[in-house]
Amino acid sequence: MKPFENPEYYSEIRRLTLIGGVLDLFLGFVKVLVGYIGNSQALIADGIHSLSDLITDILVLVATKHSAQAADEGHPYGHDRIQTLVSLALAGSLGIIAIVIAWDAVIRIVSPESLLLPGFWPLAVAAISVVSKEGYFQYVVRHPSAATSRMLYANAWHSRSDALSSLAVIVGVGGVLAGFAWADAFAAIVVAGLLLVVAYRIGREGAEELIDSAASPVLNANMRKTILSIEGVRDSHELRTRRMADKVLADLHIRVDPLISVSEGHRIGDEVMDALKTRFPEVGDVVVHIDPEDDIVGDVYSKLPMRSVIVAEINTNLHKLQNNFDARFSLQPKNIVVHYLDDGCQIEIWMTMPDEATTRDCSLASSTIKDALMRIDNIVSASVLFSSN
């Protein structure tokens, strides 16, 4: 069972997010309290940052609940892109936090009188925050669920931003204690730049998904190798992939023997679909189009007449031929098979073999009927077969 089809997968995401939420609430409260007592504006801001992470935790929980819902009439492809929207929201909030941190640092640098002189306790609390939030980040990104949930991965990075901002507090407070009043502001600018890079990466992935960017070239190449390895597949083209949250959706064309039955072509298509889903767990849905011949060059088949037109012309020609034909043969086809090829239609007609007719009689009749059929427009090949029943 694939991760996005497993209810336990979403339960695990909820569990990991709740752990982060409890940690954010605790650290946020302690930072604000100690920052206020210890005269550290940076730690107070860092505490507000931790509390703001609670909002993103709630967003992840809501998105996890709704994206796990099955497809319905209004959302036939499911609700997975709720995760994408949340990832974009996380990227945006991460970017805003980075800009606010950098702006505040610049203001403090150009206005030295606004620089604070914190003591030891803000330094200790910031150190605890760095260790705990970095530990939580490492725990989440190494968890199997993070490998398949970009929303969870984005939230983990959002949590790490709290650790980075706490690191800025450590550097800043340590620098102030060492006599460099501007140290904390400069460190905050560096951390803000790192946060902007992370926000850009997360946001770019979400944006590429919304505009249906293709999956990785490596995945596409491996999928094509798998397709061509399936029995009955002569070639494959127009492989298109796109992401929907944790899934990869694909559609493709395969070329098969043009003279096999519809059911056999369908069976080959099912085998291609099953093989792709089995070998590539991230592939959630596959649409396979069956081609009798290569249709990349042009849409030849749409210019050929439909079956009803061809059958009507065949019956008209057979009726005319019947008047001058051996009376033993009834030119009423039992079955007509039409194969649409690039250069025209190939016809197979099954006739009833008279009891008193010989093989030679049937061979001569077949040749005469074939000559008549070949004069019909768009028919490039004809076979006439006789059977006793």
Tell me the C-alpha distance between 32 and 38, whole Å.
10
pLDDT of residue 130: 86
What is the rounded (10 degree) CA torsion for 64, 68, 69, 72? 120
Q: Are 140 and 86 in contact (CB under 8 A)?
A: no
Burial 245-278, CB ≥16 within 10 A → b, else e: bbbbbbebbbbbeeeeeeeebeebbebbbebbbe
Residues 6+ apart with CB under 8 A from 160: 133, 134, 137, 198
- Report whether 95 contacts 158 (CB < 8 A): no
**Of 270, 269, 280, 292, nearest in space to 247 by CA:** 280
Residue type for 134, please? Answer: E
Angle between helices 81-110 and 183-210 (to 10 degrees): 160
Measure Cα distances from 148 to 53, 228, 318 in Å: 22, 27, 63
Closest CA to 232 of 262, 257, 253, 209: 257
The pLDDT of residue 1 is: 43
Domains for the chain: give ranges and CATH numbers. Answer: 3-210 (1.20.1510.10), 217-291 (3.30.70.1350), 302-387 (3.30.70.1350)
- List the one residue out of 154, 165, 26, 150 whose CA is nearest residue 97: 165
| Residue 118, token pair as written in the block | 């914190």
Please report the sign of the dihedral spanned by the C-alpha atoms of residue 270, residue 275, residue 276, residue 282.
positive
CA distance 89 to 199: 10
At residue 70, the pLDDT reads 67
pTM (whole model) above 0.85: no
Q: Tens-digit pLDDT profile for the chain (389 aa)?
A: 444 445 566 677 778 888 888 888 888 888 878 877 876 766 766 777 677 677 667 766 766 666 566 666 776 666 667 777 777 887 788 788 778 878 887 887 787 766 656 667 878 888 888 888 888 888 887 776 655 666 677 777 777 777 877 877 787 778 777 777 777 677 777 777 777 877 787 788 778 877 777 788 898 999 999 999 999 999 998 899 888 766 788 999 999 998 888 899 999 999 999 999 999 887 888 999 998 877 665 555 568 888 999 999 999 999 888 888 877 888 889 999 999 887 889 999 998 888 888 888 889 889 999 999 999 989 999 999 988 76
Cα 149 to chain centroid, rounded: 12
Collect all residues with Cβ–Cβ distance below 8 Å to 104 and sequence separation of at least 6.
45, 188
